[in-house]
Amino acid sequence: MLVVGTRPEAIKMAPVIKQAQGSGWMDCCVVATAQHRHLLDQVLAQFGVAVDHDLNLMTAGQTLAEITSRSIAALDRVIEMEQPELVIAQGDTTTTFTAALAAFYRGIPFAHVEAGLRTSDLQNPFPEEFNRQATSKITRFHFAPTEGAREALLAEGVDPGDILVTGNTVIDALLMTVSPDLARRPTGRVRKMLLTIHRRENFGEPLRKVGAAIRELLAREPDLQIVWPVHPNPNVYAYAHEQFDGHPRVKLVEPLEYAEFVNAMADAHFIVTDSGGVQEEAPALARPVLVLRATTERPEAIDTGVARLVGTDTQAIVMAVQSLMHDTGVYAGMAKGISPYGDGKAAGRIIERLAESFAISEGSKK
C-alpha cells in the first residue's frame, strides 16, 4: 500500500509507484489522504497515477490534531480492508506519520522513502521534524536519500541493515519532467527570481520581513523580475496579494502544475524559497538557491555551495540577492550543476531492495 497526501509527496512517490507497478511482482494499492486536495490531484494526473482509495480528508481551516486523528482512523480502515504486507510513504508530513502509525498498530512493516532527514530541533520545521523522528522509530525499511541521512539514522540506533542510501526520488521525477530546452545554465544578465514560501514557521512576522526585502530589492534593482506561485494557505495568499498585486515586475500566479513549476525553476536565474523539495531540485538544474530558513535538514546543498541559508532577515535576503545579481563569481560558484541528492535512479533501488527483502527471485518477477 503506497500512501500520498500532499503535492510534494506525490511528486516524490510517483517514480516509486510507477516502478512498483511495473515490477511484475508487487500488487499495488495507492491511497490518497488528500491532505492537499487540488495540488495533489494535479501531480497524480501528470504522472498518470490512479488512486484506489481517495480518503478526501482535507477540510477548510483544519488543525493538525484534526487531520492527524482523521488520517489514522481512515488509513486503519483501508489497511483492514486491503490487508497489505507492506505500507510505503514518503517524507515528513502528517500523512506520512499517520501511515506509519496505522501500519505499526496493525503489525505491518513500514517503508520510509526519504528517511533520516534531521534538524534535531522539534520546533523547526514544525511539525515536520517531529513527524520524521517519530516515523523513524516505527520504520522497517529506511530509504535514505544521502549518506548524511544514513549517518543521522545510525546515530539514533537504527540497524545498518535496515538502511539503504538510494538518492532522492525527487531527482527521478525532475529528470522525467524538465524540458530539454530549459535544462541548461541560464544566459544573460541575472535578473529572474522564482520565489516560493509556505512553511508554518514563516507565517506572520517572518513573511512580512521577506516582503520588506522584496520591496527593497524592487526599488534598488530596476531589472529584477519576480515570479511568485502563491501558496493557497490564507496566511500567505492574503499577504502576497495585499502587498504585491499589480506590481509590474512581480507576477503572482496560482500554484503551478508540477511540469510548469519545474520549467519555471529552469527558466529562472535563481530561486528564493523555504521549500525542502526545491532545495533538492534546483541544484540539479544549476540554479542557485537562497533558503528562507534558519536551518535545514538538507545540508548537502549548503555544504557543496549550491544553496545558502539566509533566513528571513530583510537585509540578509537583500544582500544575498544582490550578490547573486552583481557578482559573477558568486553566481558561478552556486550555479555548478552539482546534484548532491541523486542520479535519477532512486526508485529502482527502492523496489529492488524490497524484492530482495521479500525474497522475490528474478524468475518470480517475470
Question: Which residues are part of the catalytic machinery?
Answer: 92, 114, 128, 198, 200, 231
HEC secondary structure over 170-224: HHHHHHHHCCCCCCCCCCCCCCEEEEECCCHHHCCHHHHHHHHHHHHHHHHCCCC
Q: Please give the Cα distance from 200 to 279 (Å, whole number).
A: 17
Residue 213 in grid coordinates: 526585502
Q: Please give the Cα distance from 136 to 147 (Å, whole number).
A: 16
Note whether 232 and 219 are within 8 A (CB): no
* DSSP per-residue letters across 127-177: THHHHHHHHHHT-SEEEESSHHHHHHHHHTT--GGGEEE---HHHHHHHHH
Q: How many CB atoms lie within 10 A of CB 2?
A: 27
Q: What is the DSSP letter of 257?
A: P
Q: Please give the Cα distance from 343 to 107 (Å, whole number).
A: 34
Q: Please give the Cα distance from 248 to 13 (Å, whole number).
A: 37
Handedness of CA 65, 36, 8, 199 (dihedral sign): negative
Q: Please give the Cα distance from 193 to 186 (Å, whole number).
A: 12
* Alpha-carbon dihedral angle through residues 221, 284, 130, 198, given to the nearest 10 degrees: 30
How far is CA 205 from its chain centroid? Answer: 24
Q: How many CB atoms lie within 10 A of CB 76?
A: 16
Q: What is the DSSP letter of 51?
A: P
DSSP-derived 3-state class of residue 272: strand
Peptide bond into 127 cis (omega under 30): yes
